[in-house]
Amino acid sequence: MGEIKTDLKKSAIERSITLLNPALASATDLLLSTKEAHWNVKGPNFMSTHLFFDKLYTEVAEYVDDLAERTIEMGGYAHGTLKDTVKGTILPAYPESLHTEKEHIQALLSQFVAFSIHIRNGIDKADEAGDRDTADLFTQISRALDKQIWFLEAHLA
């Protein structure tokens, strides 16, 4: 861990880094799953669903970048390789060979919900450690995930 100039306690910094890297791995996993759905979806609403998945991908890419940058800001190392992602993700595996819009939406919904739960837990843990800025980042991501989950659920209604 690198040294940074901050008034945060070392224990808060260390705790935040241990929260940020699994969130980074999970966000990267979600990013790849969203692109998987984008590439492989088929159905009567193909174009709108294809574009919807692309929009989700773009939004999740921002979480990946924000989580990695916060990790570095805290003096940590952002573990962002594919091996790190596979090792660190908390998400259920994205099912193989899905094709229909409904199948992809349900699979993505499961992953978005799991990621949301993980991020919400991170809010409390970062706050308890004394790092309100990391808690705030998790809160921003959580708020956006709530909206994305709503959109995914609306597609299933």
pLDDT level of residue 13 (50, 70, 90 thresholds): confident
Total residue count of the chain as it appears in this document:
157
Phi and psi dihedrals of 136, rounded to 5?
Answer: -65, -40
CA distance readout (Å), 83 to 25, 69, 115 = 9, 19, 19
Across the range 89-115, mean pLDDT stands at: 96
What is the CB neighbour count within 10 angstroms for residue 45?
11
Pair of tokens at residue 148: 């994305």
- Cα–Cα dist 17/74, whole Å: 7
How many whole angstroms from its chain centre is CA 128?
A: 21
pLDDT (0 to 100) of residue 154: 96
Count CA atoms within 13 Å of residue 98 on its CB side. Answer: 21
pLDDT (0 to 100) of residue 147: 98
CATH superfamily of 14-156: Ferritin, core subunit, four-helix bundle (1.20.1260.10)
Across the range 108-130, mean pLDDT stands at: 97
Strand partners, 126: none
Strand partners, 101: none
SS3 100: strand
Task: Domain ranges for the chain, please list them.
Answer: 14-156
